[in-house]
Structure formats: structure tokens, C-alpha cells
Chains A and B, each alone.
Chain A
Amino acid sequence: DGGITQSPKYLFRKEGQNVTLSCEQNLNHDAMYWYRQDPGQGLRLIYYSQIVNDFQKGDIAEGYSVSREKKESFPLTVTSAQKNPTAFYLCASSIDHKASGTDTQYFGPGTRLTVL
């Protein structure tokens, strides 16, 4: 089965704790992305990675960190510095982040993070 997996599906965090969301893909895609979605809103880009060991900040990177040690994996850490982390987090991948008109993004099922 090819695709993108995210775990866990639901995550609860106490204030002041760091948590890590997992994202794995077996599509052999170079580019991976993390988005945040708040109720009734579209997606906002947190971080993206075009290649292993390289990543760039998106529009709302403050309070988040990522790593890209393997092509298949792009974990997101929500740190205690993120003031309002309760949201739905979506991971995506695409063949190539470069300027391409045919570059389709494929999404995982999401992780819902709630701060208690």
C-alpha cells in the first residue's frame, strides 16, 4: 500500500510539554510539507523540505521544529513556545518541490492535537 501515514491520530499535550508528530511516506517523493488547519479555515504552511537534511520555514514556523534525516520521514515537533497549538496537523508530499506545474500534493490522514 503506497501513501502517507501520520501518527498518532489524536494527541493530547499538557501545557509546557513538547510533542512530536510522525509523518512517513513510501511514495519516493523528494518534497514533504507540514500544514496546520484551524476550524473553518484553510491550511497554513509550517515547514517544508525539498531534500534530505534540508528544510525551510513556512508562513507560521514559530514554535515548531522539524528534521529530515531520511527521505521517507519528516517529523514535526510542537514546542512549548507555540502559544496556541491546538489544531489539526496535516503532512503532505510531492514528487519535487521545484517549480513544476504538474506537482501534485498528496496528504496524510492528519493528527488532531489538543492542549489540556
Chain B
Amino acid sequence: KQEVTQIPAALSVPEGENLVLNCSFTDSAIYNLQWFRQDPGKGLTSLLLIQSSQREQTSGRLNASLDKSSGRSTLYIAASQPGDSATYLCAVKGSVTNAGKSTFGDGTTLTVKP
């Protein structure tokens, strides 16, 4: 059974700092890994999707990497801003043995202080 872990559970940084969020998974037979942002009481917003054949994806100040062999992904946020404060979740879409279902981590809650 796929398990997804996100460490740390919470992170607080001053504005302008570069930071890295971590996501690890136990079963490397995946189709893709997706990073989401969730604001309090809201739904999830997709940030980046990395296919299993890819190593990284970039969107603006965000860069996500994927290392399937080690079961790890990182989300790099450059020049953090207070508006980046939210919970960030990663989700791994499993292979056929997992019926293509997505497994979510518990998230990292980021606070960027002005």
C-alpha cells in the first residue's frame, strides 16, 4: 500500500527566503506526482504535476523535482512572499496495482512572515 509522508508538518520563514518542502513515497511504481496548495477552509489548487518520466517541472517561482528511485519529491519556492502562506500537499498517482488512485500526504503548513 502506497504511503506518502510530508516533513516538516509546519514551517515558518521570513519573507524573501528560499525554501524547500519535502514529500516521500514508499512505492516507486507511480504515474505522476502532483503538488497542491490549500488555503484554510478552501479546496485544493493544482500547482505542478510531474509525470513519472520527468525529473522536474517549473512554474514561476516554483520548481518541483522527482526522484522515483529514492521515492522523493521536493517543492522549491524562491523568494517567498506572505501570500505563499498556505498548506502544501503532494499526491502520488499509483500504478495499475493501485488502480490508478491518488494517495495524499498530510501536508506542510507554510507561514511566511512579513
Contact = CB atoms under 8 A, between A and B. Distances in A.
A106 B105 contact: no
Interface string A94-109: 0001111111111111
A99 B100 contact: yes
Contacts, number: 69
B101 A107 contact: no
B78 to A, nearest CB: 23
Nearest to B102: A105
A110 interface: yes
A2 interface: no
Contact of B43 (A59, A90, A99, A102): A90
B63 interface: no
Nearest to B100: A99
Interface residues of A, number: 31
A82 B49 CA distance: 33
Interface string B27-50: 000011010100001111110010
Interface in A6-44: 6, 35, 40-44
27 contacts: A35-B104, A41-B106, A42-B4, A42-B104, A42-B106, A43-B91, A43-B104, A45-B101, A56-B99, A88-B41, A97-B100, A98-B100, A99-B95, A99-B96, A99-B100, A100-B100, A101-B51, A101-B53, A102-B32, A102-B49, A104-B34, A104-B46, A105-B34, A105-B44, A106-B46, A107-B45, A108-B43
Interface of A: 4, 6, 35, 40-45, 48, 56, 58-59, 88, 90, 92, 97-110, 112
